[in-house]
Structure 1
């Protein structure tokens, strides 16, 4: 699977986990050079607290387009150490 934004492959892996229709990539599949920190957080009743990051590619930023669960609940343990994408990021095979 590949995550593409702004014409750039920002993550690529054959090891994704699908939860609620979202592909969760291993965190190491997303180079840190494409990330800016964000203070955004949300709560999921069964996964726990999600944190967000902004994608930054070729001088353009896409706020809160990456999310992850640093300490997911036991029910969502399979997504620990993984990131997912939204907000216009294409995820394709």
Structure 2
């Protein structure tokens, strides 16, 4: 079962991931709410739409914008709706 590991802790785990462009998109419900903080960062992907981000924070450690998601993905990217993906210092272990 794929897991997202950050700072030595599992922050998401699910056997229902979707792989897009080599990134595992986990259901949003699989992400631990106690480690995420809203971020004001947004980026635009030409085919997926506008991405929003979460910052991770736990026991004094922080990783800015390490989680992204598409609140309103474009039609061709509907498979990532209500899902999150990770980068920076988050490791996804399948």
Q: TM-score, normalised by structure 2?
A: 0.97
Shift of 1:58: 2.0
Equivalent in the alignment of 2:52:
51
Equivalent in the alignment of 1:27:
28
Equivalent in the alignment of 2:8:
7
Contact 1:67 1:84 in 2 (8 A): yes
Moved over 2 A (4+): none
| Pair 1:69-2:70 in alignment | yes
| Pair 1:42-2:43 in alignment | yes
Task: In structure 1, list runs of 5 or more residues that go unmatched.
Answer: none
Partners of 1:48 and 1:66 in 2: CA distance: 16
Shift of 1:30: 0.4
- Please say which of residues 30-39 and 70-79 is displaced more in the overlay: 30-39
Describe the SS at the equivalent of 2:4: strand
Q: Deviations over 1:8-42 (max 9, x none)?
A: 00000000000000000000000211101110000
Shift of 1:88: 1.4
